[in-house]
Structure 1
Amino acid sequence: MTTLAFALAATIKHDGHGGIADLLSTPEESVAWLREQKPPLTHVLGPVLPTDLGRFLHPIRAEILPNLDASRAWCELVRMRRAVRALFARAVAPGAPSKVDADRLMELDDALRMVNDAAGRLGTTRLEWVDEPRLRWAYQTEDPVELLAGAVGRSAIEFLSGPDRERLRACPAARCVKYFLQDDPRQTWCSPACGNRERVNRHYRKRTAG
């Protein structure tokens, strides 16, 4: 399953016409994107947080979306995306971040602080003792936008500290800005389309050079 942080990083993509497309260019587009993220969002939030907080923890549900501050959610998603892509750029092979990030990466310490602070909003487990000892999840906020940012932060931490980080690559195609997970050691491009485009470009360059 695609992690929330990885899906967020992929909202910057090639537009097919030599430019860059941003899938989160407006608050409305951000809400539409969130509607599609229920599985990865639930993966982060669902297993650990009490169900009676569902009204705060599931802003992607259709009946909850009208109550979500779309502008705040948009700003927070874009802010967290910048931090996630900065960390992804440093997790891939040295000197090979996505081209769209190469000249404007957030400082590593700033990106780490942002991700860790966001993840901290989700809280932690604490020991309680009433009649017997038990663990309770102590959340730090009930704000849905902050919980959304926290879900992205925790997802980024889980991804970058997990086994999939070793497969993270930045597509080297001339006009591609995507990060992808390498399925095979021989895989160079994020997709066959990028590979075909690069082969055509190389063939053209050889012909014109000759």
Structure 2
Amino acid sequence: MREPMSRDARLALDLALTIRHDGSGGVTDDLTEPADLTAWVRAHPEVLPDTGRFTASPEQLAAVRELRAAVRALFARAVRPGAPSPADAARLLPVPEAVRLLNEAAARTPTVPVLDWPDEAAPVAHRRPVRPDDELTSSLAHAVIAFLASPERERLRACHAPRCVRYFLKEHARQEWCKPSCGNRARVARHHQRHKATA
């Protein structure tokens, strides 16, 4: 039975998955320029209140990339005793540093209560960031913290199919790979290994 994924889990995974296999044996980064981050945020309208008007600055890109490094280090810890993603194995941040970076990112945007009271409607209170420039990183960090502190974390796995560097949430008991194509590559690789061993 397929288990649903929370908004926080989806956001945390989508951020981690901006590091991916490039199709030719290497790893590529989907967040190398501010325009890349702008496109990513606009594809995730749940991140910010006015995502369609968001344009990333170089400072925001650096902050999100730093946060992503912390997230991938914490994902590697979460999948223990399993191995981390091959993309991370040689360059993981120490866990205490990753936790510190995540917590600092979450604290970057203090909020203040704001009252909205439109005509012919009930008043509504919500929270607005004091420093909107830090809202993106803080919002992402809040989602990651909520995901890592939830029971969903126990379903987190690193895909170990050849050339895959993704993390995924296990949706059923027999799932070993992030997607069927990775399962096919893993089976083909095992088949070749068995034939090479007997040859």
| Candidates 125, 132, 142, aligned match of 2:131 | 142
Offset at residue 174 of structure 1 (A): 2.4
Question: Hey, what's the Cα distance between the residues in 1 that align with 2:83 and 2:170?
Answer: 14
Alignment of 1:121-136 (within 5 A): 121-123=108-110
How far, CA to CA, are the matches of 1:3 and 1:155 in structure 2?
9
1:123, 1:96 → 2: CA distance?
Answer: 36
Alignment: residue pair count: 180
Deviation string, structure 1 residues 38-58 (Cα, Å, up to 9, x no partner): 12x15xxxxxxxxxxxxxx53
3-state SS of paired residue (2:168)? strand
- The residue aligned with 1:206 is 194
Q: How does 1:79-118 map to 2 (within 5 A)?
A: 79-118=66-105
In the superposition, the TM-score normalised over structure 2's length comes to: 0.82
Q: Distance in 2 between matches of 1:122 and 1:71?
A: 18
1:12 corresponds in structure 2 to 19
Structure 1 segments unaligned to the other structure (5+ residues):
43-56, 127-134
Give unpaired runs (5+ residues) of structure 2: 1-6, 114-124
**Alignment deviations for residues 3-30 of structure 1 (CA, whole Å, 9 cap, x no partner):** 3222100111112221112111222111
The whole-number CA distance in structure 2 between the counterparts of 1:138 and 1:21 is 35
Q: Distance in 2 between matches of 1:113 and 1:34?
A: 24
Q: Could you tell me which residue of structure 2 aligns to residue 48 of structure 1?
A: none
Q: 1:31 deviation in Å? A: 1.0
1:184-199 equivalence runs, <5 A: 184-199=172-187
Q: Does residue 181 of structure 2 align to residue 181 of structure 1?
A: no
User: Which 4+ stretches in 1 moved above 3 angstroms?
Assistant: 135-139
1:56-101 CA deviation, whole Å, 9 max, x = no partner?
x53x21xx23xx4421221111111001111111011324111111
TM-score w.r.t. structure 1 length?
0.78
1:122 Cα deviation (Å)?
Answer: 3.3
